[in-house]
Amino acid sequence: AQSVSQHNHHVILSEAASLELGCNYSYGGTVNLFWYVQYPGQHLQLLLKYFSGDPLVKGIKGFEAEFIKSKFSFNLRKPSVQWSDTAEYFCAVKPSGTYKYIFGTGTRLKVLA
């Protein structure tokens, strides 16, 4: 069955630390890849997306993600986190040809001021 794994469930960092959140998926075909963020008390919103082309994708607020097809991974990175990045982050995969988005279980990030 298709699935998305986010291995880090909770991450605590100090401000200015670098961030990398892991995302791996199980699907052999072409996929579209997404990272969503949910700030406390707010809706889920798109952080960045990959459809094709350059595997290094830049999103909002200084986030980026790299698609490594051979590793079935789409890890999220930010070189220097801020207190305002405290949120829950979800990785999602959409197999090409379907409209079924498959989400990971999420990673709760807490950034200490």
Partner 1 sequence: DTGVSQNPRHKITKRGQNVTFRCDPISEHNRLYWYRQTLGQGPEFLTYFQNEAQLEKSRLLSDRFSAERPKGSFSTLEIQRTEQGDSAMYLCASSLGLAGLQQETQYFGPGTRLLVL
Per the CB < 8 A criterion, the answer to whether 108 and 21 are in contact is no
Amino acid in the structure at residue 89: Y
Which parts of 49-88 interact with partner 1 (CB under 8 A)?
A: 49, 51
The structure tokens listed for 9 are 């469930």
Q: Smallest distance from the beta carbon of 105 to partner 1, in angstroms?
A: 5
> Distance between CA atoms of 101 and 63, rounded to whole angstroms?
21
Interface pick for partner 1 out of 40, 53, 70, 100 (rule CB under 8 A): 100
> Residue 4 or residue 87: which is nearer to partner 1 going by CB?
4
Interface pick for partner 1 out of 46, 56, 60, 112 (rule CB under 8 A): 46
> Distance between CA atoms of 84 and 40, rounded to whole angstroms?
10
> Distance between CA atoms of 77 and 90, rounded to whole angstroms?
13
* Residue 45 lies near partner 1 (rule: CB under 8 A): yes
Chain residues that interact with partner 1, rule: CB under 8 A: 4, 32, 36, 43-46, 49, 51, 90, 92, 94, 96, 98-106
